[in-house]
């Protein structure tokens, strides 16, 4: 008998929180998606250092819509933290409420972002700045939409009573993805909206 | 079937392969017979063999492309191919060998071997594993559809802009490549996720991080590399596609585009990729060479360290592919120096192998010969790599046949030689029959002589100034003789590979039965029958040393003795054990999924989607996308039998 | 020892008045004239505190092999810090951007990891004595520390490190720091502090919350992301830092900037690579050590295995030879465990040296590596140094029975 193995304790069975393989899989997915955004932002700054101020649009991207929108996305992440805590305690009602709140806030983010796009004086084909602006924010938007689909599924499953205090791995995994979408937006926002003022 | 509960204590018992318990396991883990089983199987061994067969299929196709080109180049001023046909052939040859053969063939070995060497019943994500294979096959077919229509990519595998943009290349050729690579990237990414999580979670109890076979370290490192590198090339190809189709300005020469950005994004991916397609192969050799040297690998720790550092350094030196693009002078010298640094871990690995042979008692089998050839070719390819890492030499040699020689010594030397050796080692495990050693000798020497005859003269051609990617040349340049030798060598190499296929065919029909452990090897896969049953191990093995089957004779018993037939049964449905990352202590009992059509269906939907994008039929693309979403929802829907749903009182 | 510390602090303080003389030729403004000497003074004070803390730990836990290396790392870290910020270096950094970059890299990639490896924060904190730490505890500092422990703290440190480094190398903020002395101090302080936090996680002891594999990814990704500005500088055809646009020392502004990027990307990258090798080797060493440890505690564990093998495994927590929890509580007070640990139910147990023992009965691992069984708790309490050499917990000289009583009390904290 191998002396180094401990077998006496009962082991959790099935998909349990952060012991689920899916949790590790999501971390790996977040890593590779994070790399995707790193390459996008590398491209952005690559253009920036090649051309300087003249490459950026006039006027610079404004905070009027993007600022409040950033706050909305951050709040949606906080509601998701709350929802995940509730799910861990088996409080399905509160979990569903939290997921629903995050979902609604995410929808609002998408709406405001569409208004922001409509207000732009350039489009994706007018210059390399326009191409990159729409590619980066478009990629992020695609991730938000994917996140909304995930949240919708989680909401349905929670309301169907699929989860309890021991079985809620999908909520934790989905929450991780949603936080990732939020953090990536902060990086995108800082790069596209804030750094032009810091030159 | 309902789950038995939220937690339970492992039931430990002694069980063999021919007990009632094993028969029950077999029933649980077996795939259905016929087409239904073929389309729905999630067995890692099945998928691994599919990967190997498909990759060898692409190797043969890519090889035939190369042979046609070699006929064209054998003499000056030949007219077998038009310039356009030649361009398509060398592009498809590169794409095939680098993307559709080199990584998938290693994924085949890793898929087959990971659970077996780690003492697990399957990969961490069996359905994702099937999905990764189907996407690989679908993206390969997608890219090859172009060649069938005579519209193959024609700008080389690195597809430099601006030539790859619409203005200079209006046909759909590069759209096939661009969309195909985004498609293919999905397969690589999900496959990598699976390897990483399997390595961290599915090791047999007691198989701590310093006891895992090196081949899993190689694949782990390459997979982590993939997770960070593949997004770059997917992004670059997506940008190229939108530049071509929607008038964006990423790589154009007007409206503020930057053609050089293409090269940055491409090489940020492609330099790490070089290591991705060699590190797992080096891992296979590091594990299998000791079988034939009758001793453990010299310097396990430093070889792992070399593997990891090579990958990390690989992310830092992409600029050395761009020495000729007018980068700042200071940058050239720093990147040149950094490129020299990479030789250190490579040399460490080479010396570890040589020391293993030197201090061992080598048994000269065909596999051993291939591994020895691998080491020698690695050194040749490494030295020509060091030469091109020096800026002045690179300025002279870039875009000549010298570089062609270098890349083939690296890729054939480190990938193909290792793969052929590994086939002689592990094919008997997969089929239960040995390959012929006598034909094996013929196989090895034909490959070795053919390869060197075919590729060594290319170094000299490069030094003589012959540029790569020319469809023909003038007689008075004096390149004729060497080109003829090269062409002859490449045919000899092809015959060598044909001999391997003949050997495999003969072994399948009437090979000598292999037995469980024909090489008297030390790792867990050799404790299973050949071929292994669908459930791999009747009980979860418990490991106390790096060489479970050699530990008595090596005296590696300071931490106790490995137990291979006495351990946790895990027979309450398809189950596997999850263990901790550092010292592989049991953490959870995982419920493994049954066979599923979802991976195949999602792949089909995705193929429809990509075809829609290619044809600008947005409705088709949208329908494909919806299909993917629906398939994913079914796939991920929580199931009680997988322990994903709250338990209800009975 | 206390006398020595006092002497040290006095000597340091006496240096301070003489300090301006050290900086007379730096050509600095009146504002900056005392800066470096003040820094020297501050460093000496911290060194004194560190020495005191180091000595205290030795009195409590004896000398372990790693302790001298820690002290040496701390001293070299401080030396690098002072050398990097010395007036001569500063002067060069004013002209050449690449020199300024080298200065920043010396802070974040050499000084900070050395200080973190020397456990400067912990030992200087111990040097302060108990009173200030208790005050910090009252102010809620401990709660912050605990919240930041583990994954959230690691992520925070990662983002702080990469973010702060990138922020100060944007042309705007970089320019502000050159124009305003307080901002320049803030720049260097925040670079050093975020880097310290980063390396404290990366080079932490094995019992820390982030596993070795996770730490490899942690350092590897930071290597690329924090060097991101460097890659851009290499590829930039024109200088974008106004103060260094002229170049100097025979370099044009653009060349100077490219050199800065290269210093960040390549020698800087090698530091990260070195750290990754170190973590990988530590990973292997840790696995070795655990295998040996398992062998050493063989009798207890094999008994359990035997029981499990016969299908007689009992629920966790059931104990065949229970101690007396009430007796244990009394022993905890007598032994003075509360000097280092917060222990619920024990009056005055508010120490902040070791981890708080709230809910210890529910933990899975002891010291990050032993399964939390009553037997292992007894083994740990009787000789912690045998299990994690060099950890801060001393041998308490408990008998088997005493240790069993204490373990019984701790098991009630769920």
Rounded to whole angstroms, the Cα distance separating B176 from B240 reads 12
Q: What is the pLDDT of residue C297?
A: 52
CB contact under 8 A, C236 and A45: no
Residue B346 belongs to a domain: yes
Residue C28, pLDDT > 60, answer no
Q: Find the mean pLDDT for residues B635-644.
A: 87
Q: What is the band of C304 on the pLDDT scale with cuts at 50, 70, 90?
A: very low
Is residue C301 domain-resident? Answer: no
Extract the residue ranges of chain A whose pLDDT is less than 50: 1-4
Q: Average pLDDT of C48-77? A: 82
Supply the Cα-derived Rg of chain B in whole angstroms: 25
Closest chain B residue to A124 measured between Cα atoms? B248
CA distance A116 to chain C (A): 26
Q: Nearest 5°: CA angle at B364, between B358 and B368?
A: 80
- Do C82 and C200 sit in the same domain of this protein? yes
Q: Has residue B291 been placed in a domain?
A: yes
Residue B367 pLDDT > 50? yes
CA B202 distance to own-chain centroid = 21
B605 versus C376: which is more confidently predicted? B605
Same domain membership, residue C323 and residue C232:
no
Average pLDDT over residues B327-352: 90
How far is residue B404's CA from residue C362's CA, in Å, rounded to a whole number?
Answer: 62
For chain B, what is the domain count?
A: 3
Q: Which range, B68-72, B380-384, C366-370, is most confident?
A: B68-72
Asked whether residue B574 falls in the same domain as residue B492, the answer is no
Interface B–C counts its CB contacts (< 8 A) at: 95
What is residue C306's predicted lDDT score, i.e. its pLDDT? 43
| Same structural domain, B510 and B611 | no
pLDDT of residue B1: 40
Whether the Cβ atoms of residue C79 and residue C169 lie closer than 8 Å to each other: no
- Give yes or no for a contact between A173 and A22, defined as CB atoms under 8 angstroms apart: yes
State whether C87 and C140 are in the same domain. yes
Range of the domain at B633: 604-642
User: Is A14 in Cβ contact with B589 (below 8 Å)?
Assistant: yes
- How far off is chain C from A143, nearest CA to CA, in Å? 21
Highest mean pLDDT among A140-154, B4-18, C27-41, C333-347: A140-154
Beta-carbon separation of B209 and C212 below 8 A? yes
Q: Which residues of C205-217 are buried (b: 16+ CB within 10 A; e: fewer)?
A: ebebebbbbbbbb
B chain contacts of residue A43, beta-carbon cutoff 8 Å: 235, 239, 250, 261, 265
Average pLDDT in the C203-213 region? 72
Name the domain boundary from C273, C291, C309. Answer: C291
Arithmetic mean of pLDDT, B117-141: 96
- Kindly state whether residues C357 and C266 are assigned to the same domain: no
Same domain, B445 and B538: no
Q: Are residues C216 and C327 in the same domain?
A: no
Asked whether residue C188 is domain-assigned, the answer is yes
Phi first, then psi, for residue B222 (nearest 5°) are -65, -35
The verdict on C61 and C130 lying in the same domain is yes
Arithmetic mean of pLDDT, B420-447: 96
Which residue, B460, B495, B521, sits at the end of a domain?
A: B521
The confidence score (pLDDT) of residue A41 equals 95
Is pLDDT of C62 > 90?
no
Q: Which residue has the higher pLDDT, A97 or C16?
A: A97
Interface of C with A in 154-173 (CB under 8 A): 170-173
Could you tell me the residue range of the domain that residue C329 belongs to?
A: 318-411
Q: Look at residue B372 and tell me whether its pLDDT is greater than 90.
A: yes
User: Cα–Cα distances in Å, from B582 out to B203, B328, C213, C377?
Assistant: 10, 44, 8, 21
Contacts for C13-18: CB closer than 8 Å, 24+ residues apart:
C13/C41, C15/C40, C15/C41, C15/C44, C16/C41
Per-residue confidence band for C205, with pLDDT thresholds at 50, 70 and 90: low
Q: Which residue of B has its CA nearest to A4?
A: B206
Looking at the domain assignment, is residue B263 inside a domain?
A: no
pLDDT above 70 (res C319): no
**Are residues B478 and B536 located together in one domain of the fold?**
no
Structure tokens at C76: 């070299």
Q: What is the mean pLDDT of residues B518-526?
A: 94
Note every long-range contact of A114-117, with CB atoms under 8 Å and residues 24 or more positions apart, other chains counting. Answer: A115/A65, A116/A65, A116/A66, A116/A69
Record: contact C265-B309, CB cut-off 8 A: no
Q: Global pTM?
A: 0.88
Do both C251 and C382 map to the same domain?
no
What pLDDT is attached to residue A8?
A: 67
Are B471 and B68 spatial neighbours (Cβ–Cβ below 8 Å)? no
B549, B565, B591: which is the final residue of a domain? B591
Note whether C259 contacts B: Cβ–Cβ < 8 A: yes
User: How many structural domains are present in chain C?
Assistant: 2
For B169, phi and psi rounded to 5 degrees? Answer: -145, 70
Neighbours of chain C (3+ CB pairs under 8 A): A, B
- Distance from C-alpha of B615 to C-alpha of B593, rounded to nearest angstrom: 36
End-to-end CA distance of chain C: 40
* Same-domain check for residues B378 and B434: yes
Q: Max CA-CA distance within chain C?
A: 81
* Mean pLDDT, rounded, of chain B: 92
Minimal C-alpha gap between B111 and chain A (Å): 17
C304 is a domain residue: no
Predicted pLDDT of residue C66 = 76
Would residue B477 count as lying in a domain? Answer: yes
Q: Could you tell me if B516 and B546 lie in one domain?
A: no
Q: What is the pLDDT of residues B173-191, one digit of tens each?
A: 999 999 999 999 999 999 9
B428 confidence band (pLDDT: 50, 70, 90): very high
Same domain, yes or no: B285 and B350: yes
| % of chain C at pLDDT higher than 90 | 17
Put simply, the chain B residues between 11 and 50 with a CB less than 8 A from any chain C CB are: 11-12
Does C231 sit within 8 Å of A3, measured CB to CB?
no
pLDDT of residue C70: 86
Which of C232, C309, C315 lies at the smallest CB-CB distance from A45? C232
Whether C231 and C345 share a structural domain:
no
pLDDT at C298 over 60: no
Residue A18 or B117, more confident: B117
Q: pLDDT-derived band of residue B244, with 50, 70 and 90 as boundaries?
A: very high
Which position has the higher pLDDT, C328 or B17?
B17
Question: Where is the domain boundary, C252, C273, C291?
Answer: C291
pLDDT band (50, 70, 90) for residue C12:
low
Q: Are B175 and B614 in contact (CB under 8 A)?
A: yes
Strands B566-568 and B12-14: antiparallel
Mean pLDDT for chain C overall: 77
B330 min Cα distance to partner chain C (Å): 7
Same domain (yes/no): B507, B627:
no
**What's the mean pLDDT in B367-382?**
95
What residues in A contact B591, CB-CB < 8 Å?
13-15
At residue B555, the pLDDT reads 83
Residue C31 has pLDDT above 80, yes or no: no
Residue C186 has pLDDT above 70, yes or no: yes
State the pLDDT at residue C22.
40
Please write the tens of the pLDDT for every residue from B561-570. 888 888 888 8
Q: Using CB atoms, pick whichever of A3, A38, A198 lies closest to residue C295.
A: A3
| pLDDT score at A3 | 43
Q: Do B429 and B493 share a domain, yes or no?
A: yes
Claim to verify: residue B515 and residue B618 sit in the same structural domain: no
Residue B20, pLDDT > 80, answer yes
Comparing CB atoms, the residue among A9, A21, A47 nearest residue B197 is A21
Average confidence (pLDDT) over B611-619 = 95
Minimum distance, in Å, between the CA of residue B31 and any CA atom of chain C: 32
A36/B643 Cβ within 8 A: no
Residues B17-43 have a mean pLDDT of 91
| Closest residue, chain B, to A6 (C-alpha) | B585
Q: Do A38 and C235 touch (CB under 8 A)?
A: no
Domains and CATH numbers, chain A: 67-199 (1.20.120.80)
Task: Name the packing angle between helices B214-246 and C212-226 (round to 10°).
Answer: 40
- Asked if the Cβ–Cβ distance from A1 to B561 is below 8 Å, we say yes
* CATH number for the domain harbouring residue C360: 2.60.40.420
| Residue B202, in any domain of the structure | no
What is the pLDDT averaged over residues C152-157?
Answer: 85
**pLDDT, mean of residues C349-362:** 71
3-state SS record for B31-81: CCCHHHHHHHCCCHHHHHHHHHHHHHHHHHHHHHHHHHHHHHHHCCCCCCC
The pLDDT value given to residue A2: 40
Q: Which of B334, B560, B585 sits opposite C262 (nearest CB)?
A: B334
CATH of the domain at B483: 1.20.210.10
CA distance C398 to B54: 66
Is residue B504 domain-shared with residue B534, that is, in the same domain? no
* Residues C324, C257 within the same domain: no
Across B478-487, C38-47, C150-159, the highest mean pLDDT is recorded for B478-487
Q: If you average pLDDT over each of A144-158, C140-154, C281-295, C355-369, which comes out highest?
A: A144-158
pLDDT at C411: 79
Collect contacts of B37-40 with beta carbons under 8 A, ≥24 apart.
B37/B595, B39/B597, B39/B600, B40/B130, B40/B595, B40/B596, B40/B597, B40/B600
Q: Which of C301, C320, C373, C374 to mutate to test the interface with A (most CBs of A within 10 A)?
A: C301
C97 and C172 within one domain: yes
One domain, residues C286 and C324? no
Q: Are residues B487 and B346 in the same domain?
A: yes
Looking at the structure, do residues C16 and C107 belong to the same domain, yes or no? yes
| Residue B625 included in any domain | yes
Asked if residue B239 belongs to a domain, the reply is no
Closest residue to C280, CB basis, from B308, B337, B558 = B308
Residue B614 pLDDT: 95
Establish if C154 belongs to a structural domain.
yes
B402 in a structural domain: yes
């Amino acid at each position: 008998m191998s002396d180094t193995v401990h077998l006496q304790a009962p082991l959790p069975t099935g998909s349990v929180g952060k012991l689920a393989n899916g949790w590790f899989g999501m971390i790996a997915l977040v890593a590779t998606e994070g790399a995707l955004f790193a390459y996008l932002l590398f491209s952005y700054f690559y253009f920036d250092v090649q051309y300087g101020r003249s490459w950026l649009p006039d006027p610079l991207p404004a905070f009027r819509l993007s600022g409040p929108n950033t706050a909305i996305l951050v709040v949606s992440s906080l509601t998701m933290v709350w929802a995940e805590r509730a799910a861990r305690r088996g409080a399905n009602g509160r979990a569903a409420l939290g997921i629903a709140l995050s979902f609604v806030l995410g929808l609002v983010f998408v709406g405001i972002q569409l208004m922001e796009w409509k207000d732009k004086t350039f489009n994706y084909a007018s210059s390399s700045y326009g191409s990159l602006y729409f590619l980066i924010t478009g990629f992020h938007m695609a991730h938000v939409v994917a996140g909304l689909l995930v949240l919708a599924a989680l909401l349905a499953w929670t309301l169907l009573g699929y989860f309890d205090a021991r079985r809620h791995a999908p909520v934790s995994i989905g929450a991780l993805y949603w936080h990732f979408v939020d953090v990536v937006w902060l990086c995108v926002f800082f790069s596209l909206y804030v750094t032009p003022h810091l030159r | 079937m309902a789950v038995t509960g939220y937690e339970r204590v492992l039931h430990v018992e002694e069980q063999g392969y021919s007990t009632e318990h094993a028969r029950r396991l077999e029933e649980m883990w077996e795939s259905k017979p016929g087409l239904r089983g073929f389309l729905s199987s999630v067995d890692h061994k099945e998928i691994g063999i599919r990967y190997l067969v498909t990759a060898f299929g692409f190797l043969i196709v890519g090889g035939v492309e190369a042979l046609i080109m070699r006929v064209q180049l054998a003499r000056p001023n030949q007219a077998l191919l038009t310039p356009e046909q030649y361009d398509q052939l060398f592009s498809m040859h590169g794409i095939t060998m680098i993307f559709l053969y080199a990584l998938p063939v290693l994924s085949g070995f890793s898929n087959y071997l990971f659970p077996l060497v780690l003492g697990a019943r399957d990969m961490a994500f069996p359905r994702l594993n099937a999905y990764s294979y189907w996407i690989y096959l679908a993206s390969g077919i997608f890219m090859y559809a172009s060649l069938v229509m005579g519209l193959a990519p024609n700008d080389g595998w690195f597809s430099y802009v601006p030539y790859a943009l619409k203005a200079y290349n209006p046909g759909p050729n590069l759209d096939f490549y661009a969309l195909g690579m985004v498609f293919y990237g999905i397969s690589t990414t999900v496959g990598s996720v699976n390897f990483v999580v399997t390595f961290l979670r599915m090791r047999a109890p007691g198989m701590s991080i310093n006891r895992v076979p090196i081949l899993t370290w190689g694949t782990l490192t390459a997979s982590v590399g993939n997770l960070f590198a593949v997004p770059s090339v997917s992004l670059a190809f997506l940008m190229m596609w939108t530049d071509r189709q929607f008038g964006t300005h990423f790589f154009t020469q007007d409206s503020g585009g930057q053609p050089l950005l293409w090269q940055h994004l491409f090489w940020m991916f492609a330099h790490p990729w070089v290591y991705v397609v060699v590190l797992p192969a080096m891992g296979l050799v590091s594990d299998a060479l000791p079988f034939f040297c009758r001793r453990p690998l010299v310097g396990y720790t430093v070889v792992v360290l070399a593997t990891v550092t090579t990958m990390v350094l690989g992310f830092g030196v992409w600029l050395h592919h761009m020495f000729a693009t007018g980068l700042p002078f200071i940058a050239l010298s720093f990147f040149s120096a950094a490129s020299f640094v990479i030789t250190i871990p490579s040399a460490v690995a080479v010396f570890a192998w040589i020391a293993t042979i030197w201090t061992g008692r080598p048994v000269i089998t065909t596999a051993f010969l291939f591994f020895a050839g691998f080491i020698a070719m690695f050194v040749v390819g490494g030295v020509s790599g060091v030469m091109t890492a020096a800026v002045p030499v690179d300025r002279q040699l870039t875009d000549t046949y010298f570089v062609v020689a270098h890349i083939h010594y690296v890729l054939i030397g480190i990938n193909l030689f290792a793969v052929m050796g590994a086939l002689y080692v592990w094919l008997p495990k997969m089929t239960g029959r040995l390959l012929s050693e006598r034909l094996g000798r013929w196989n090895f020497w034909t490959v070795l002589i053919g390869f060197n005859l075919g590729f060594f003269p290319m170094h000299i051609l490069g030094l003589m100034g012959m540029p790569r990617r020319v469809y023909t040349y003038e007689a008075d340049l004096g390149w004729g003789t060497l080109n003829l030798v090269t062409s002859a060598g490449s045919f000899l190499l092809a015959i060598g590979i044909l001999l391997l296929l003949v050997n495999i065919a003969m072994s399948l029909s009437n090979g000598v039965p292999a037995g469980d452990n024909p090489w008297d090897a030390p790792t867990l896969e050799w404790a299973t029958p050949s071929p292994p049953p669908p459930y791999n191990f009747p009980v979860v093995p418990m490991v106390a040393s790096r060489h479970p089957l050699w530990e008595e004779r090596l005296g590696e018993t300071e931490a106790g003795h490995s137990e291979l037939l006495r351990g946790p049964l895990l027979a309450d449905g398809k189950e596997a054990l999850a263990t901790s990352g550092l010292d592989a202590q049991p953490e959870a009992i995982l419920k493994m999924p049954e066979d599923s059509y979802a991976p195949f269906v999602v792949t089909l939907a995705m193929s429809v989607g990509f075809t829609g994008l290619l044809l600008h039929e947005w409705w088709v693309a949208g329908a494909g996308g919806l299909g993917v979403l629906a398939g994913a929802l079914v796939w991920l829907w929580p199931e009680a039998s997988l322990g994903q749903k709250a338990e209800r009182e009975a | 020892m206390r006398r020595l510390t006092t002497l040290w602090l006095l000597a340091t303080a006496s240096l301070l008045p003489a300090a301006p003389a050290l900086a007379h030729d730096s050509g600095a403004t009146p504002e900056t004239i005392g800066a470096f000497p003040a820094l020297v003074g501050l460093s000496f004070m911290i060194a004194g505190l560190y020495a005191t803390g180091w000595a205290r730990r030795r009195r409590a836990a004896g000398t372990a092999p790693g302790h001298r290396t820690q002290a040496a790392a701390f001293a070299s870290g401080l030396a690098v810090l002072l050398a990097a910020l010395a007036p001569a270096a500063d002067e060069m950094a004013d002209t050449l951007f690449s020199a300024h970059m080298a200065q920043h890299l010396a802070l974040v990639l050499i000084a900070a990891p050395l200080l973190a490896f020397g456990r400067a924060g912990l030992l200087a904190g111990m040097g302060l004595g108990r009173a200030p730490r208790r005050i910090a505890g009252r102010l809620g500092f401990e709660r912050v520390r605990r919240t930041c422990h583990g994954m959230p703290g690691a992520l925070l440190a990662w983002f702080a490190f990469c973010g702060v480094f990138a922020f100060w190398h944007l042309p705007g903020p970089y320019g502000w720091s050159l124009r305003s002395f307080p901002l320049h101090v803030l720049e260097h302080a925040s670079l050093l502090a975020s880097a310290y936090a980063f390396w404290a996680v990366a080079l932490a002891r094995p019992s820390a919350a982030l596993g070795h594999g996770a730490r490899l990814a942690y350092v590897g990704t930071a290597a690329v992301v924090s060097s991101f500005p460097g890659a851009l500088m290499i590829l930039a055809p024109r200088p974008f830092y106004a103060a260094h646009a002229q170049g100097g020392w025979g370099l044009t502004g653009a060349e100077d900037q490219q050199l800065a990027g290269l210093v960040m990307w390549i020698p800087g990258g090698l530091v990260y690579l070195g750290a990754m090798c170190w973590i990988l080797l530590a990973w292997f060493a840790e696995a070795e050590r655990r295998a040996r440890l398992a062998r050493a505690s063989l009798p207890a564990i094999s008994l359990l295995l035997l029981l499990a093998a016969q299908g007689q495994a009992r629920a966790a927590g059931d104990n065949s030879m229970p101690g007396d929890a009430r007796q244990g509580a009394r022993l905890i007070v007598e032994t003075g465990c509360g000097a280092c640990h917060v222990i619920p139910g024990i009056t005055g147990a508010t120490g902040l040296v070791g981890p708080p023992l709230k809910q210890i009965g529910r933990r899975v691992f002891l010291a990050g590596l032993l399964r939390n069984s009553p037997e292992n708790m007894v083994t740990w309490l009787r000789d912690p140094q045998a299990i994690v050499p060099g950890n801060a917990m001393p041998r308490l000289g408990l008998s088997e029975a005493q240790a069993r009583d204490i373990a019984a009390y701790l098991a009630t904290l769920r």
